[in-house]
Structure 1
């Protein structure tokens, strides 16, 4: 199904950048009450509302890049363990600890998302991301919520003594949108399927993700280019300018349609060569095929096995596992 796209992928991971960029245009849409915070408060930034139509400024919620890539990376690592590509058992040959000294430095997670481990080596991430900004103002996008910690009996008293475990915290409210450009650089076809699957399969973001933080990632389009394109903030501001009434944000289906128009217009302004773009029906067909792969154990196992071979080969040839070249002495 994606055979016509395979010309846009590298056949093997290169040692240096080769100008193969895949941009995923995404609307991250909150479905519960996520918490994106630092030092106990929600992250915010004051920015211009739009690019040209709305030049006033307001505070926006910020979803820092690690709040986005870390959950997706962990989703991928879970899948790798499911198919025994990696293991959490320290005595296993395929053992890989998360992002530390004991990471294997050669599995799909290590090579695609990168690592930096002092003298043990480093690998640059092939997933480019940046902080995302809420489409709507902070004032209308969050809610302060009071919570408590009841006893095992379910009451706020235990043994006749009142518990005082009550606190207050700001949460992002449901149906807040964070427009995002996630960029993949120099990846193989199998690497693309793995990274795209991580994006589509991740459901929880932010702090307290076991209790809240549900989000849905709506893929608006994919562009294969020879360079990087516009930022998350520029996409957010341009989309805000598309709104007829910023005081009444439309539903996600209408936002996806507006976002497609916005992305097309922004791409037309970029000094890059677009070798292929996917929108609308063509994108829907491609996503149906990718989702089908993840519903087929044999198909996704074959892709992950092939990807694992590719990343091991890269690590042994160019990465942290490569043997240092022996310089010949002068005669």
Structure 2
């Protein structure tokens, strides 16, 4: 079956933005994915120490009123999503190595089968590296810029969405006595909302599908991700353009304005309210994101290995 015959019907209206093979130079064709990140746990968004990352911004566009917003830095989003992507690829390789022809796609880039990992074993050859970019891989491989554009996200509500949690020492002795407090760390409360946009440029349709799948599959963000930090990523919309449309901060301000214009209260937000405000704020789309998600599910369930090997075949070679 040819590549053209596999092209999804639901993407026909925007096919001019999508490549069959990744181009060697930037062309400015972009897909923008509107993502509502909702905390479903006590998340830790700190850089160093125990204080949350905060930013004082205008509450709404052209407003003089200030609000202290919690910031989910870009690197916390990207690192978690890349870790999840490499985890998926490694898992598929470990469980299906006999059926895989293009081993490098899944992170096997040397004879030791020490698969690609962030920071300490970056191969620069797998699907993730070719999409998110890499540096400090093997010297002969050079580096590659990311084709995923992400920025820091800002909470709709302000500093009142934090809570200090004290951690106690654990001991099996003198359990009848109160334990000693060790530390107190500021956490983001559950149901804190971070409107955000993730952009992919100069892409194939399989790369777009992989990115959407990755965002929806990633649930752990912030410090101590193995024990806390659950986030529900809800993809609200997708649109295509040759330029970036709106920043995350502008989006959060516009969402705040939309909610208050409809007599909503920032102190009593629901996910439905924020989703609706995002849809009203973001550009109209020529494709339905729910149709795309259904198509992704169908293609991954039928033959995920084959899908990813063809994705890898469409990516730029060194």
Query: Structures share a fold, TM > 0.5?
Result: yes
Cα distance in 2 for residues equivalent to 1:257 and 1:4: 23
Shift of 1:211: 1.3
1:236 aligned residue:
252
CA RMSD of aligned residues (A): 2.4
Q: Kindly indicate whether residue 266 of structure 2 is the aligned counterpart of residue 253 of structure 1.
A: no
Q: Which residue, out of 285, 293, 296, partners 2:291?
A: 285
Cα distance in 1 for residues equivalent to 2:127 and 2:35: 23
Structure whose residues are more often strand by fraction: 1
Q: Kindly indicate whether residue 93 of structure 2 is the aligned counterpart of residue 64 of structure 1.
A: no
2:146 aligned residue:
125
2:313 aligned residue:
309
Cα distance in 1 for residues equivalent to 2:113 and 2:122: 12
1:144 aligned residue:
164
Distance 1:49 1:116, change over 3 A: same
TM-score, normalising length from structure 2? 0.84
Shift of 1:163: 5.6
SS class of match (1:199): helix
Q: Kindly indicate whether residue 21 of structure 2 is the aligned counterpart of residue 12 of structure 1.
A: yes
Q: Mapping of 1:293-304 within 5 angstroms?
A: 293-294=299-300, 296=301, 298-304=302-308
SS class of match (2:317): helix
Asked if 2 retains the 8 angstrom alpha-carbon contact of 1:99 and 1:115, the reply is: no
Distance 1:143 1:165, change over 3 A: closer
Asked if 1 retains the 8 angstrom alpha-carbon contact of 2:10 and 2:291, the reply is: no
Unaligned runs of 5+ residues in structure 1 are 268-275, 317-331
1:166 aligned residue:
182
1:42 aligned residue:
52
SS class of match (1:287): helix
Q: Kindly indicate whether residue 199 of structure 2 is the aligned counterpart of residue 195 of structure 1.
A: no
Shift of 1:161: 9.2
The answer to which of 17-26 and 109-118 deviates more is 109-118
TM-score, normalising length from structure 1? 0.81
Cα distance in 1 for residues equivalent to 2:280 and 2:251: 11
Asked if 1 retains the 8 angstrom alpha-carbon contact of 2:106 and 2:127, the reply is: no
Cα distance in 2 for residues equivalent to 1:222 and 1:228: 13
SS class of match (1:315): coil
Distance 1:299 1:104, change over 3 A: same
2:8 aligned residue:
2
Unaligned runs of 5+ residues in structure 2 are 1-6, 94-104
Q: Mapping of 1:97-136 within 5 angstroms?
A: 97-99=117-119, 102-117=121-136, 120=140, 121-136=142-157
Q: How many residues align?
A: 292
Asked if 2 retains the 8 angstrom alpha-carbon contact of 1:240 and 1:246, the reply is: no
Asked if 1 retains the 8 angstrom alpha-carbon contact of 2:161 and 2:192, the reply is: yes
